[in-house]
Amino acid sequence: MLKIGGFTPFTTIDYPDRLAAVIFCQGCPWRCGYCHNRELLDAAAPGKIPWDEILTFLDRRRGLLDAVVFSGGEPTLQPGLKEAILAVRERGFLTGLHTGGAYPDALAEILPHLDWVGMDIKAPFADYERITGAAGSGEAAERSADLVRTSGVGHRFRTTLDPDLLRDEQIAGLRRLVLEGWGSGYDIRHAAPL
């Protein structure tokens, strides 16, 4: 079903105000220099945890956990993501997604089945290729951000600041876009230069 590169059985920080587990999906098309999950980048790498083990764990945690978050890597790369989300929902859990927005069509398909989305806005969309190393990444992220903010699904846009990649005026532009243009929650996490 899913290629799972890692699993956190309990977290208080990955889904707002809820106790959650996090499934880390294998594979990402982008190569951001500050990535903290480099071991998940290779989409051809085998998964480390079978999906059945995750479901068995979740069955034992009903009533103890509130939510399950699909993270990565980039979870929307996974063809079995929708089915996995539906299986989690059938067990009574809220569903969350951490995404960079690389695959807007896949995101559009799963948004109706999500309760919350945390989307990373890496830079002004015109600067994405410099950050991600992938042509067309800014257009994909912009489409995904528009889908998220107009979906009616709870969400938070966030940015990891690397002072070697984003200048003050770019950061100010991101703040204006999200706070004034979109009117949504916004987190800023600082990353040390690599």
Per-residue pLDDT tens listing for the chain (194 residues): 899 999 999 999 999 999 999 999 999 999 998 888 999 999 999 999 999 999 999 999 999 999 999 999 999 999 999 999 999 999 999 999 999 999 999 999 999 999 999 999 998 898 899 999 999 999 999 999 999 999 999 999 888 877 777 778 887 877 777 776 665 444 444 444 33
| Domains assigned to the chain | 4-190 (3.20.20.70)
DSSP 95-124: EEEEE--S-HHHHHHHGGG-SEEEEE--S-
- Rounded-to-10 torsion of CA 153, 36, 193, 156: 10
Q: Say what the pLDDT of residue 159 is.
A: 83
| Token duo for residue 176 | 């204006």
> How much is the pTM?
0.90
Contacts of 97 (CB under 8 A, 6+ apart): 69, 70, 71, 75, 76, 110, 114, 116, 117, 118
Phi, psi of 125, deg, nearest 5: -55, -30
Q: How many CA atoms lie within 13 A of 82 on its CB side?
A: 9
Residue 192 pLDDT: 40
